[in-house]
Structure 1
Amino acid sequence: MKRRHGLHYSWRLAMLSAVAFLTMAAASSTANAQPIVGLWEVTVTLTGLPVLDSFETWSSDGTQAETAIKPVLSGNVCLGLWTSLGKQSYGLTHPVYNFDDTGTANGTSANLMYSITLSHDKNSFSGNASLTIFDGIDPFDPAANVLAKFTGTVTAKRITVNKSQLP
C-alpha cells in the first residue's frame, strides 16, 4: 500500500510541477511581449508619392501584416518583418510586389522600410520611412537595379476595442 501511495504522490507532484512551469512560462512570455504588438492605423508619407494609409498588425512573432487603402488589384495586402532596435524603437522591412492597373505583376518589386519610435504612452508611433523600387521580382537580390528611392515619414495610432460599442 505504501508503494501505491508513493506513486500517487509522485504523480501529483509531477502534475503540480508541470502546471507551475506552464504558468511561469505564460507569465514570462507576457512580461516579455513587445509593446509594438497590436493593430495600428498607419500613414506613410513619401516625397513624390500619394499618401499610403493602412491597417497594420504587428505580431509577437516578429511578423507584420498590412491591408492598404488602395485598389485590391494593385496589391493591397502585404507582409513584413519587424525587429526591436532598442528601447521602444523598431525597424520594419516590408517586401512588395508591384502590379499594373489590371492586377498583373509588372516585373518590379520594392522594399518599404520603417525606423520608428513608440510614444511614451505606447498608443502611437512615428519615424522615418523609405521605399526602394527594384527591377525584378526579388527586392532582396543584391544584383537588382534600383529604379527609384523615396523617403519620408510614418505615423500611426493604436487601434483598441471600444467595449462601449460592442453589441
Structure 2
Amino acid sequence: MTITTHQRSITTYTELTASMQTDPEARHHGGAASVSSSPQTFPVEAARCATFPTPMEWVPDRERRVVPDMMAALCRRCPGRQSCLLWALAGQEQGYWAGTTTNDREIMRQLDQDDVDTADWLQDLARRELTDGALHPIGEGSYFWYRRRGCRCGECKTANAQARAQERAKAKGQAA
C-alpha cells in the first residue's frame, strides 16, 4: 500500500523509520509524560497522563513502534494533546507523547507537520503494518500463533522474539 502525502510517497511505516533509532539511554523515573527533561514546566497542568491513577512507562528503555493501547486511548481523549505534541516536537523529547512515538515525531519534523491528525495517521499506518496478514483478530497475536499456526504478522513476530529472549535469559541463568 502506498500513501501519498503532499511531499512524498510512503510505502510503509518501516520505510519511514528505517534510518531512525530510539535512544537506548533514555530513562524516565517519573510517573507521567508531563515530567520533561526540559527545565520549563509542562504547558498542560491537567494532562490526563499526569492525573492517571496507574503508573505507566512513558519513556521505556525500548520503545515499541505502536503506542500501547491504554496510553493511546488516554492521549486521544486528552484536551491538551495538541499542546503536548508541540512540546514534545520542540523539545525533541523521548518516549510516548501525545499518542506518538519518538520516531513518529521525527517523521513529523521531516514532513513539517505538527498536528494530531498527522500523528494519528502515522500510528494508524504503523498499526496496519503490524497486523498486516494476521491470521487472528487484531491485538491477539502471540507466541502460540507464531509457532503453532504459522502467523507472521508483526504482533506474532514480537511475541515470538519476547518468548525467545526469555528462554535465552533463563538458559543463561541456569548455565551460570
Give TM-score scaled by structure 1 length. 0.25
Q: Which has the higher helix share?
A: 2
Normalising by structure 2, report the TM-score.
0.24
- Whose radius of gyration is greater, 1 or 2? 1
